Each structure stands twice: as C-alpha cells, then as structure tokens.
Chain A
C-alpha cells in the first residue's frame, strides 16, 4: 500500500498529513533544543 493517498486536496488528507508532520516536528524540535542546550551548557572547569 502506497502513502500517496495522504497527499491530496481534501480536508481529511491535509489534516492527517498535518498531524503526522506536526508530531515529528514538535517532538524532534524539542529533543534538538534540549540536546543543543546540553551541549552549550558546559561545566565551568572545562
């Protein structure tokens, strides 16, 4: 089964695509932000 049915003009298709993209962007973005903050918050003696 191909995923081409997700990329269409109807509201069902658009909203389904938005949900999956939104979740990956928000979760990935938050994880990247935490990793970036951890990287630049180095202990002072280093």
Chain B
C-alpha cells in the first residue's frame, strides 16, 4: 500500500512542477522573447512547434526499445513482456499526440509565411508518414483480434523507428521548402540570436517533462487494464472449474 502512495505523491509533484514550467516557458515565448525582425510575432509559433517536433522524434525510440523488449521477453519472461508492452503503447500514443501537434502547428505557420497549408516536400511528407505509421499502430492494437496483436504492433514500431532518422535528416539531405536546420546544423552562420535561448530551452524542457508525465500516466492506465484482464481471465477459469464439479 506504501508504494502506490509514494508513486502518487511523486506524480502529483511532477505534474505541478511541469505545469509551472509550461506557464514559465509560455511567458518567455509570448512576452519576454523579442519579436523577430523578419517574421514578426508569428515567429512565436516556433516556440511550441519546434519542441513538439523534436520530441515527436524522441518518443518513437522509447516505443522502439519497449517493443524490442517485448519481442525479447514474450517467450522468456511474459510478465516483463507485459511491462514492456505497456511502455510501448504509452509511448506510441504520446508520439501521436506530439506528431499531430507538430503537423497542425506547422500548417498554421505555413499558411501565414508560405501562403499555403501544405506542400509535399521531404520533411513534411516523411513526418506525415511517421504520423500515419503511429495511427496504423494504434488502429492495429485496437482492432486486431488474432491474438498476435502485440507482436504485430512491435514489428510495426520498427518501421516507425526507421522513418525517424529520415525525418530528421530530410532537411539536410534534400533542398526543402521547410526551413533549414537551426540547431545542430554544423553551419557556423546558422542558428538563432542568443536572446531567444531561454525561451527555446524552457519550452523544450517543459514539453519534455510533460511528455514523460503523459507516458507515465498512460503506462499506469495500461498496467491497470492488464491487471483487470488477468483478473477476469482467472475468474472465468475459477467459474468454469466450479461448473464442472
């Protein structure tokens, strides 16, 4: 009884800290950071768009590692495999949330700056493919009834893991309409003014903390569902044994 109580206190503390961090980061983005000389205030969309885009390329690797763990343990240690599967489904849903926000906020910025909602350039298309892979991952988990759902989903997550470096490198490999890389570009002339750093760093940290909180919450929910399914299966066996006596 003691462990769930400690976990609950940690979760509430983390939630409050994250919420305070998001409010602080949003204030830096909207109030403190100077207006961009070229784009004006619409540039402030990037303070939410970029962290969500970066993190939507991080969470798939949580999903990939958890899926690999599931494939490794599914015959050796089914209890560990169930834990890994709960992490996999949690990180897949959070990836979809972040990737959806990345695409939607990018389109809202593109309509203002480019005059169009969408263009089939390498970055946007590869990101859309990643989004579709996770939509299909979650539909597969929801609708498949063959008893191999978790294994099929784990294999699908490998394809998503392959798409992630393509999304990341697309603006380096190809000339795209999407802006060139700003962070870790290798170009000494690229980058943003130092006055923007606090807003970037705070928003990346805040949305990373939030993503970790969501994964932990969704993991706890999945573990509860697994526990309930196991309880129901045990009860059905007990009932059938009583029926045959």
**A contacts, CB < 8 Å to B:** 1, 3, 5-6, 11-13, 15-16, 18-20, 22-23, 26-27, 30-31, 34-35, 37-38, 41-45
Contact = CB atoms under 8 A, between A and B. Distances in A.
B231 interface: yes
A43 B231 CA distance: 8
A20 to B, nearest CB: 7
B52 interface: yes
Contacts of B31: 1, 3
Interface of B: 26, 30-31, 40-42, 44-45, 48-49, 52, 93, 97, 100-101, 104-105, 108-109, 111-112, 210, 213-214, 217-218, 220-221, 224-225, 227-228, 231-232, 235
B111 A41 contact: no
Nearest to A11: B112
6 contacts: A13-B41, A19-B108, A23-B48, A31-B214, A41-B228, A42-B228
B112 A12 contact: yes
Contacts of B104: 22
Give chain B's interface secondary structure class. Answer: helix
Contacts, number: 79
Given A23-B52, A23-B101, 4 more contacts: A6-B30, A11-B112, A19-B109, A20-B30
**Which among A23, A38, A45 has the greatest number of chain B C-beta atoms within 10 A?**
A23
A15 B112 contact: yes
A16 B101 contact: no
Nearest to A26: B101
A23 B69 CA distance: 32
Contacts of A20: 26, 30, 48
Contacts of B221: 34, 37-38, 41
A31 to B, nearest CB: 6
Contacts of A13: 41
A27 B231 contact: no
A27 to B, nearest CB: 6
Given A22-B105, A26-B97, A44-B231, A38 B220 contact: yes
A30 B214 contact: yes
